[in-house]
Amino acid sequence: MKKKKIEDSEIRKIRNSNFSTKRVTVKKLENILYKPHKALDHGFVRVIDYMGDDSSIVQAARVSYGKGTKKLNQDKSLINYLLSHRHTTPFEMNEIKFHIKLPIFVARQWIRHRTANVNEYSARYSILDNEFYIPKLENVKPQSTLNNQGRGGGMNKEEGKSYIKTLKDHSKKSYDIYNFLLNIDEDGNINDTEKSGLARELARMTLPINSYTQWYWKIDLHNLMHFLALRFDVHAQYEIRIYAKIMLEIVKKWVPLTFDAFIKNRVESLTISSEAVRFLKAKINKKNTKKFSISKRELDNLKKIFDL
Protein backbone atom coordinates (compact mmCIF):
# COMPACT_ATOMS: atom_id res chain seq x y z
CA MET A 1 0.00 0.00 0.00
CA LYS A 2 2.89 2.35 0.85
CA LYS A 3 4.47 1.72 -2.57
CA LYS A 4 1.19 2.59 -4.34
CA LYS A 5 0.91 5.90 -2.44
CA ILE A 6 4.46 6.84 -3.47
CA GLU A 7 3.70 6.00 -7.12
CA ASP A 8 0.45 8.02 -7.05
CA SER A 9 2.31 10.99 -5.54
CA GLU A 10 4.98 10.85 -8.27
CA ILE A 11 2.33 10.68 -11.00
CA ARG A 12 0.49 13.70 -9.54
CA LYS A 13 3.74 15.69 -9.66
CA ILE A 14 4.25 14.80 -13.32
CA ARG A 15 0.64 15.61 -14.24
CA ASN A 16 0.89 19.00 -12.51
CA SER A 17 4.07 19.88 -14.41
CA ASN A 18 4.05 21.97 -17.57
CA PHE A 19 6.55 21.52 -20.38
CA SER A 20 6.92 23.79 -23.39
CA THR A 21 7.30 22.04 -26.74
CA LYS A 22 7.34 22.78 -30.44
CA ARG A 23 6.20 19.27 -31.37
CA VAL A 24 2.66 18.26 -32.30
CA THR A 25 0.36 17.70 -29.34
CA VAL A 26 -3.20 16.37 -29.05
CA LYS A 27 -5.29 18.08 -26.38
CA LYS A 28 -7.59 15.10 -25.73
CA LEU A 29 -4.57 12.87 -25.20
CA GLU A 30 -2.74 15.45 -23.09
CA ASN A 31 -5.78 15.49 -20.79
CA ILE A 32 -5.46 11.78 -20.02
CA LEU A 33 -1.67 11.44 -19.77
CA TYR A 34 -0.78 9.27 -16.75
CA LYS A 35 -4.46 8.75 -15.89
CA PRO A 36 -5.17 5.05 -15.21
CA HIS A 37 -8.06 3.45 -17.12
CA LYS A 38 -9.27 0.53 -15.00
CA ALA A 39 -9.12 -2.93 -16.57
CA LEU A 40 -10.45 -6.13 -14.99
CA ASP A 41 -10.23 -6.16 -11.17
CA HIS A 42 -6.74 -4.77 -10.46
CA GLY A 43 -5.39 -3.82 -13.89
CA PHE A 44 -5.11 -0.55 -15.77
CA VAL A 45 -3.90 1.13 -18.96
CA ARG A 46 -2.34 4.59 -18.90
CA VAL A 47 -0.67 6.65 -21.62
CA ILE A 48 2.85 7.73 -20.68
CA ASP A 49 3.97 9.45 -23.88
CA TYR A 50 3.17 9.74 -27.59
CA MET A 51 4.51 11.18 -30.84
CA GLY A 52 2.49 12.59 -33.73
CA ASP A 53 -1.18 13.03 -34.66
CA ASP A 54 -3.30 12.59 -37.79
CA SER A 55 -1.43 15.37 -39.57
CA SER A 56 1.88 13.57 -38.92
CA ILE A 57 0.63 10.63 -40.98
CA VAL A 58 -0.40 12.89 -43.82
CA GLN A 59 2.90 14.76 -43.58
CA ALA A 60 4.85 11.50 -43.79
CA ALA A 61 2.82 10.32 -46.80
CA ARG A 62 3.37 13.59 -48.64
CA VAL A 63 6.88 14.12 -47.25
CA SER A 64 5.99 17.76 -46.63
CA TYR A 65 5.86 20.34 -43.85
CA GLY A 66 3.02 22.61 -42.86
CA LYS A 67 -0.66 22.42 -43.65
CA GLY A 68 -0.61 24.77 -46.63
CA THR A 69 -3.98 25.17 -48.30
CA LYS A 70 -5.21 21.60 -47.96
CA LYS A 71 -8.49 20.95 -46.16
CA LEU A 72 -9.47 18.52 -43.39
CA ASN A 73 -11.49 16.35 -45.78
CA GLN A 74 -8.35 15.94 -47.93
CA ASP A 75 -6.45 14.58 -44.91
CA LYS A 76 -9.38 12.28 -44.12
CA SER A 77 -9.51 10.96 -47.68
CA LEU A 78 -5.76 10.38 -47.81
CA ILE A 79 -5.70 8.51 -44.47
CA ASN A 80 -8.63 6.37 -45.59
CA TYR A 81 -6.86 5.62 -48.87
CA LEU A 82 -3.62 4.68 -47.10
CA LEU A 83 -5.39 2.32 -44.71
CA SER A 84 -7.69 0.73 -47.27
CA HIS A 85 -4.79 0.08 -49.65
CA ARG A 86 -2.46 -1.11 -46.86
CA HIS A 87 0.16 1.61 -47.25
CA THR A 88 1.50 1.13 -43.74
CA THR A 89 4.73 3.13 -43.40
CA PRO A 90 3.12 6.57 -42.80
CA PHE A 91 1.35 5.10 -39.74
CA GLU A 92 4.68 3.83 -38.42
CA MET A 93 5.75 7.47 -37.94
CA ASN A 94 3.41 7.82 -34.94
CA GLU A 95 4.28 6.13 -31.66
CA ILE A 96 2.67 5.74 -28.24
CA LYS A 97 3.91 4.43 -24.91
CA PHE A 98 1.61 2.74 -22.40
CA HIS A 99 2.00 1.71 -18.77
CA ILE A 100 -0.07 -1.45 -18.41
CA LYS A 101 -0.92 -3.62 -15.41
CA LEU A 102 -2.25 -7.02 -16.41
CA PRO A 103 -2.47 -10.67 -15.30
CA ILE A 104 0.57 -12.74 -16.28
CA PHE A 105 -1.49 -15.14 -18.43
CA VAL A 106 -2.77 -12.16 -20.44
CA ALA A 107 0.79 -10.83 -20.72
CA ARG A 108 1.91 -14.18 -22.18
CA GLN A 109 -0.69 -13.79 -24.98
CA TRP A 110 0.18 -10.12 -25.42
CA ILE A 111 3.94 -10.65 -25.77
CA ARG A 112 3.37 -12.75 -28.89
CA HIS A 113 3.02 -9.40 -30.69
CA ARG A 114 6.74 -8.89 -31.23
CA THR A 115 6.47 -5.43 -32.80
CA ALA A 116 6.70 -3.35 -29.60
CA ASN A 117 9.41 -2.27 -27.17
CA VAL A 118 8.69 -3.81 -23.78
CA ASN A 119 10.14 -3.38 -20.31
CA GLU A 120 8.46 -5.53 -17.65
CA TYR A 121 8.37 -5.22 -13.87
CA SER A 122 11.09 -7.48 -12.45
CA ALA A 123 10.10 -10.01 -9.77
CA ARG A 124 13.83 -10.70 -9.35
CA TYR A 125 14.37 -7.13 -8.23
CA SER A 126 11.05 -6.26 -6.54
CA ILE A 127 8.34 -8.04 -4.56
CA LEU A 128 5.06 -8.65 -6.40
CA ASP A 129 1.83 -7.22 -4.96
CA ASN A 130 -0.81 -9.41 -3.36
CA GLU A 131 -3.13 -9.00 -6.35
CA PHE A 132 -4.63 -11.78 -8.44
CA TYR A 133 -7.15 -11.76 -11.27
CA ILE A 134 -10.40 -13.45 -10.26
CA PRO A 135 -13.04 -13.57 -13.03
CA LYS A 136 -16.60 -12.47 -12.38
CA LEU A 137 -19.25 -15.15 -12.24
CA GLU A 138 -20.69 -14.24 -15.66
CA ASN A 139 -17.26 -14.86 -17.23
CA VAL A 140 -16.79 -18.30 -15.68
CA LYS A 141 -17.78 -20.72 -18.44
CA PRO A 142 -16.90 -24.28 -19.54
CA GLN A 143 -14.63 -25.20 -22.43
CA SER A 144 -16.27 -24.38 -25.77
CA THR A 145 -17.39 -27.36 -27.84
CA LEU A 146 -16.74 -25.36 -31.03
CA ASN A 147 -13.56 -23.46 -30.19
CA ASN A 148 -10.64 -25.54 -28.90
CA GLN A 149 -8.93 -22.49 -27.38
CA GLY A 150 -11.85 -20.69 -25.77
CA ARG A 151 -14.82 -20.83 -23.43
CA GLY A 152 -18.48 -21.01 -24.34
CA GLY A 153 -21.93 -22.00 -23.20
CA GLY A 154 -23.49 -21.72 -19.77
CA MET A 155 -22.55 -23.04 -16.36
CA ASN A 156 -24.47 -23.88 -13.22
CA LYS A 157 -24.31 -20.85 -10.87
CA GLU A 158 -23.28 -22.86 -7.81
CA GLU A 159 -20.64 -24.72 -9.80
CA GLY A 160 -19.25 -21.40 -11.04
CA LYS A 161 -19.11 -20.01 -7.50
CA SER A 162 -17.18 -23.07 -6.32
CA TYR A 163 -14.58 -22.56 -9.08
CA ILE A 164 -14.19 -18.89 -8.15
CA LYS A 165 -13.70 -19.86 -4.50
CA THR A 166 -11.03 -22.36 -5.53
CA LEU A 167 -9.22 -19.66 -7.53
CA LYS A 168 -9.34 -17.25 -4.58
CA ASP A 169 -8.16 -19.87 -2.08
CA HIS A 170 -5.32 -20.98 -4.33
CA SER A 171 -4.21 -17.38 -4.95
CA LYS A 172 -4.16 -16.61 -1.21
CA LYS A 173 -2.29 -19.78 -0.36
CA SER A 174 0.27 -19.12 -3.12
CA TYR A 175 0.95 -15.61 -1.81
CA ASP A 176 1.26 -16.90 1.75
CA ILE A 177 3.89 -19.39 0.55
CA TYR A 178 5.61 -16.60 -1.41
CA ASN A 179 5.86 -14.48 1.77
CA PHE A 180 7.03 -17.48 3.77
CA LEU A 181 9.84 -18.17 1.29
CA LEU A 182 10.86 -14.50 1.37
CA ASN A 183 10.62 -14.52 5.19
CA ILE A 184 8.41 -11.42 5.21
CA ASP A 185 4.88 -10.52 6.29
CA GLU A 186 2.17 -8.95 4.08
CA ASP A 187 3.62 -5.45 4.74
CA GLY A 188 7.08 -6.50 3.58
CA ASN A 189 8.63 -6.65 7.06
CA ILE A 190 11.05 -9.42 8.04
CA ASN A 191 9.38 -12.17 10.08
CA ASP A 192 12.39 -13.92 11.55
CA THR A 193 15.72 -12.11 11.84
CA GLU A 194 17.48 -15.46 12.18
CA LYS A 195 16.45 -16.49 8.67
CA SER A 196 17.76 -15.00 5.43
CA GLY A 197 14.77 -15.98 3.29
CA LEU A 198 14.83 -17.34 -0.25
CA ALA A 199 15.99 -15.20 -3.17
CA ARG A 200 13.17 -13.32 -4.90
CA GLU A 201 14.02 -14.91 -8.25
CA LEU A 202 13.28 -18.34 -6.73
CA ALA A 203 10.40 -17.42 -4.41
CA ARG A 204 8.36 -16.11 -7.37
CA MET A 205 8.07 -19.67 -8.73
CA THR A 206 5.21 -20.37 -6.34
CA LEU A 207 2.96 -17.65 -7.77
CA PRO A 208 0.22 -18.60 -10.29
CA ILE A 209 -0.23 -16.92 -13.67
CA ASN A 210 -3.26 -14.94 -12.51
CA SER A 211 -0.77 -12.78 -10.56
CA TYR A 212 -0.49 -9.23 -11.88
CA THR A 213 2.57 -7.88 -13.63
CA GLN A 214 3.28 -4.45 -15.14
CA TRP A 215 5.17 -3.18 -18.12
CA TYR A 216 5.91 -0.21 -20.34
CA TRP A 217 4.79 -1.02 -23.89
CA LYS A 218 5.83 1.31 -26.75
CA ILE A 219 4.58 0.70 -30.26
CA ASP A 220 4.01 2.51 -33.56
CA LEU A 221 0.48 3.20 -34.77
CA HIS A 222 0.54 0.69 -37.64
CA ASN A 223 1.45 -2.22 -35.37
CA LEU A 224 -0.91 -0.99 -32.65
CA MET A 225 -3.81 -1.16 -35.11
CA HIS A 226 -2.77 -4.68 -36.09
CA PHE A 227 -2.74 -5.65 -32.40
CA LEU A 228 -6.18 -4.10 -31.85
CA ALA A 229 -7.68 -5.73 -34.96
CA LEU A 230 -6.74 -9.14 -33.55
CA ARG A 231 -7.34 -8.58 -29.85
CA PHE A 232 -10.59 -6.60 -30.12
CA ASP A 233 -12.03 -9.35 -32.29
CA VAL A 234 -14.93 -11.37 -30.85
CA HIS A 235 -12.80 -14.53 -31.09
CA ALA A 236 -10.09 -13.12 -28.81
CA GLN A 237 -10.05 -14.02 -25.12
CA TYR A 238 -12.36 -11.84 -23.02
CA GLU A 239 -9.64 -10.59 -20.68
CA ILE A 240 -7.34 -9.24 -23.40
CA ARG A 241 -10.34 -7.75 -25.25
CA ILE A 242 -11.00 -5.55 -22.20
CA TYR A 243 -7.54 -4.01 -22.62
CA ALA A 244 -7.96 -3.70 -26.39
CA LYS A 245 -11.26 -1.86 -25.90
CA ILE A 246 -9.62 0.72 -23.62
CA MET A 247 -6.74 1.23 -26.02
CA LEU A 248 -9.13 1.61 -28.96
CA GLU A 249 -10.81 4.52 -27.13
CA ILE A 250 -7.37 6.06 -26.56
CA VAL A 251 -6.59 5.77 -30.29
CA LYS A 252 -9.89 7.57 -30.99
CA LYS A 253 -8.73 10.51 -28.88
CA TRP A 254 -5.22 10.47 -30.33
CA VAL A 255 -5.86 10.13 -34.08
CA PRO A 256 -9.63 10.47 -34.77
CA LEU A 257 -9.31 10.44 -38.57
CA THR A 258 -7.18 7.30 -38.48
CA PHE A 259 -9.51 5.72 -35.93
CA ASP A 260 -12.47 6.30 -38.25
CA ALA A 261 -10.62 4.79 -41.22
CA PHE A 262 -9.45 1.85 -39.07
CA ILE A 263 -13.00 1.02 -37.97
CA LYS A 264 -14.32 1.19 -41.52
CA ASN A 265 -11.48 -0.66 -43.23
CA ARG A 266 -10.35 -3.16 -40.60
CA VAL A 267 -12.74 -3.65 -37.67
CA GLU A 268 -16.04 -3.56 -39.58
CA SER A 269 -14.75 -4.75 -42.95
CA LEU A 270 -14.52 -8.29 -44.25
CA THR A 271 -11.67 -10.16 -45.91
CA ILE A 272 -12.79 -13.27 -47.77
CA SER A 273 -11.11 -15.99 -49.78
CA SER A 274 -11.28 -16.28 -53.58
CA GLU A 275 -13.48 -19.35 -53.10
CA ALA A 276 -15.90 -17.25 -51.03
CA VAL A 277 -15.98 -14.63 -53.78
CA ARG A 278 -17.00 -17.30 -56.29
CA PHE A 279 -19.57 -18.62 -53.81
CA LEU A 280 -21.15 -15.17 -53.42
CA LYS A 281 -21.20 -14.61 -57.19
CA ALA A 282 -23.01 -17.93 -57.63
CA LYS A 283 -25.42 -17.02 -54.83
CA ILE A 284 -26.22 -13.65 -56.42
CA ASN A 285 -26.78 -15.30 -59.81
CA LYS A 286 -28.89 -18.03 -58.16
CA LYS A 287 -26.56 -20.81 -59.29
CA ASN A 288 -25.55 -24.00 -57.50
CA THR A 289 -23.26 -23.24 -54.50
CA LYS A 290 -22.68 -26.78 -53.23
CA LYS A 291 -19.54 -27.26 -55.34
CA PHE A 292 -17.57 -24.61 -53.45
CA SER A 293 -15.23 -25.83 -50.70
CA ILE A 294 -15.49 -23.08 -48.09
CA SER A 295 -14.57 -23.69 -44.47
CA LYS A 296 -17.48 -23.89 -42.06
CA ARG A 297 -16.22 -20.83 -40.15
CA GLU A 298 -16.04 -18.66 -43.28
CA LEU A 299 -19.40 -19.90 -44.50
CA ASP A 300 -21.00 -19.12 -41.12
CA ASN A 301 -19.51 -15.60 -41.26
CA LEU A 302 -20.89 -15.02 -44.76
CA LYS A 303 -24.35 -16.23 -43.73
CA LYS A 304 -24.30 -13.99 -40.67
CA ILE A 305 -23.03 -10.85 -42.42
CA PHE A 306 -25.06 -11.16 -45.63
CA ASP A 307 -28.12 -12.70 -43.97
CA LEU A 308 -28.00 -15.68 -46.33
Output DSSP code: residue 207: S
Q: How many Å is the maximal CA-CA distance in the chain? A: 85
Catalytic one among 86, 231, 241, 297? 231
What's the rounded Cα separation, in Å, for the pair 106 and 185?
Answer: 28
C-alpha span between 147 and 150 (Å, rounded): 5
Strand arrangement of the beta sheet that strand 95-103 belongs to? 37-39, 43-51, 95-103, 212-220, 117-120
- Told to judge if 231 belongs to the known catalytic residues of this protein, a careful annotator would answer yes
The Cα-based distances of 188 to 2, 191, 194, 210, 213 in angstroms read: 10, 9, 16, 21, 18
Q: Is 19 helix (H, G, I), strand (E, B) or coil?
A: coil
In angstroms, the CA 286 to CA 308 distance is 12
Nearest to 46 by CA among 249, 238, 263: 249
Burial readout 150-166 (b: 16 or more C-beta within 10 A, e: otherwise): eeeeeeeeeebeeeeee
Within 10 angstroms of residue 306's Cβ, the number of other Cβ atoms is 11
Catalytic residues: 231
